[in-house]
């Protein structure tokens, strides 16, 4: 009898920087039967304020890199890249790709009884209306609100700071009002926002469900993979960053919630 080698899928996870580690964190929790390659394009972030053309070009080069490293599935953890360039990235790589918007919208649609949701995201994601379209397809009306200061505040580690709470009130107090006073779901449409969940819980009305696209994406990945023959054991994770590996490690540990080793610097052609 020949022994069967059990195969663990290799999942490439791509983001503009360390924020996508919130998605990797959920993947490690929900899909521990896979191994991971994480790419943070730290030299070229932020993506949230860039054009669709630029984001698509950067994202495709990063996705190509992950495929060359052996990725068999691609998770586009960056909301902005998913919003602005999902189709282009997915058709440029020859492996199955999953973005964060469809799973986030699906979870929000399931959570919302009033069929009205608020989406908070970067300028780029909001301007693309990708969440609005995805939610409309599921019968949910969306109000989008760009919250560009949240990314630098989270990167500064100010996830429980009074300044961040004030900023959150300024962004959100007027949003759950008027036509949207009955909205009962808040979609966290940016990699960094899951770290603000406890603070946002205090800022938005109590009846509002907070929907984390990172959690939803990991769940969608678990449903997509046939893991019945995957070997058990700890996931192997390799990290790649286009800027300083030390900076990536230091900033990344806050997002991943554990130690980061094994970071390789990558120079991508521009």
Is residue 258 among the annotated active site residues?
no
Instruction: Please report whether residue 191 would count as binding ligand DGL according to CB under 6 A.
Output: yes
Q: How far is the CB of 122 from ligand DGL (least distance, A)?
A: 4
Instruction: Please report whether residue 208 would count as binding ligand DGL according to CB under 6 A.
Output: no
Q: Which is nearer to ligand DGL, 9 or 19 (CB)?
A: 19
CA pair distance 14, 93, nearest whole angstrom: 13
Instruction: Please report whether residue 22 would count as binding ligand DGL according to CB under 6 A.
Output: no
CA pair distance 126, 58, nearest whole angstrom: 19
- Token pair in block for residue 70: 């052996």
Is residue 78 among the annotated active site residues?
yes
Instruction: Please report whether residue 15 would count as binding ligand DGL according to CB under 6 A.
Output: yes
Instruction: Please report whether residue 122 would count as binding ligand DGL according to CB under 6 A.
Output: yes
According to DSSP, the residues that pair with 142 across neighbouring strands are 117
Q: Stretches 12-20, 132-140, 204-212, 232-240: which one binds ligand DGL (CB under 6 A)?
A: 12-20
One of 45, 59, 147, 185 touching ligand DGL (CB under 6 A): 45
One of 36, 47, 65, 239 touching ligand DGL (CB under 6 A): 47
- Token pair in block for residue 111: 């959570």
According to DSSP, the residues that pair with 267 across neighbouring strands are none
Instruction: Please report whether residue 102 would count as binding ligand DGL according to CB under 6 A.
Output: no
Q: Which is nearer to ligand DGL, 78 or 263 (CB)?
A: 78
One of 140, 147, 168, 190 touching ligand DGL (CB under 6 A): 190
Instruction: Please report whether residue 194 would count as binding ligand DGL according to CB under 6 A.
Output: no
Measured from each CB, the residue nearest to ligand DGL is 48
| Residue 120 dihedral angles phi and psi, to the nearest 5° | -110, 140
Instruction: Please report whether residue 63 would count as binding ligand DGL according to CB under 6 A.
Output: no
Instruction: Please report whether residue 46 would count as binding ligand DGL according to CB under 6 A.
Output: yes
CA distances 160 to 136, 145, 163, 241, Å, are 33, 21, 9, 27
According to DSSP, the residues that pair with 12 across neighbouring strands are 37, 74
Site string for ligand DGL, 137-156 (x = CB under 6 A): --------------x-----
CA distances 140 to 55, 137, 250, Å, are 27, 7, 39
Q: Which is nearer to ligand DGL, 8 or 105 (CB)?
A: 105
Find out whether 58 and 47 touch, Cβ atoms under 8 Å: yes
Segment 72 to 101, residues that bind ligand DGL, using CB under 6 A? 78-80
Q: How far is the CB of 116 from ligand DGL (least distance, A)?
A: 23
- Token pair in block for residue 50: 């860039």
Return residues touching ligand DGL (CB under 6 A).
Answer: 15-17, 19, 45-48, 78-80, 122, 125, 151, 190-192
Q: Supply the residues annotated as catalytic.
A: 78, 190
């Amino acid at each position: 009898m020949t022994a069967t080698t059990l195969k663990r899928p290799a999942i490439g996870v791509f983001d503009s920087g360390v924020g996508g580690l919130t998605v990797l964190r959920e993947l490690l929790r929900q899909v521990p039967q896979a191994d991971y390659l994480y790419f943070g394009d730290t030299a070229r972030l932020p993506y949230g304020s860039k054009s669709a053309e630029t984001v698509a070009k950067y994202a495709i080069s990063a996705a190509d890199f992950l495929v060359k490293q052996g990725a068999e599935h691609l998770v586009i953890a960056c909301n902005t890249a998913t919003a602005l360039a999902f189709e282009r990235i997915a058709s440029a790589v020859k492996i199955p790709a999953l973005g964060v918007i469809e799973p986030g919208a699906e979870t929000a649609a399931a959570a919302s009884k009033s069929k009205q949701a608020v989406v908070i995201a970067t300028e780029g994601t909001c301007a693309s209306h990708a969440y609005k379209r995805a939610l409309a397809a599921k019968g949910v009306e969306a109000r989008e609100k760009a919250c560009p200061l949240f990314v630098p505040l989270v990167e500064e580690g100010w996830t429980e700071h009074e300044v961040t709470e004030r900023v959150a009130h300024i962004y959100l107090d007027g949003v759950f009002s008027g036509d949207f006073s009955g909205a009962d779901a808040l979609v966290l449409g940016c990699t960094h926002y899951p770290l603000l969940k406890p603070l946002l819980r205090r800022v938005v009305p109590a009846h509002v469900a907070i929907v984390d696209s990172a959690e939803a994406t990991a769940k969608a990945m678990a449903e997509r993979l046939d893991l019945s023959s995957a070997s058990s054991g700890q996931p192997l994770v390799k990290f790649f960053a286009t800027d300083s590996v030390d900076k990536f490690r230091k900033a990344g540990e806050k997002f991943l919630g554990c130690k980061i080793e094994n970071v390789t610097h990558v120079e991508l052609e521009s």
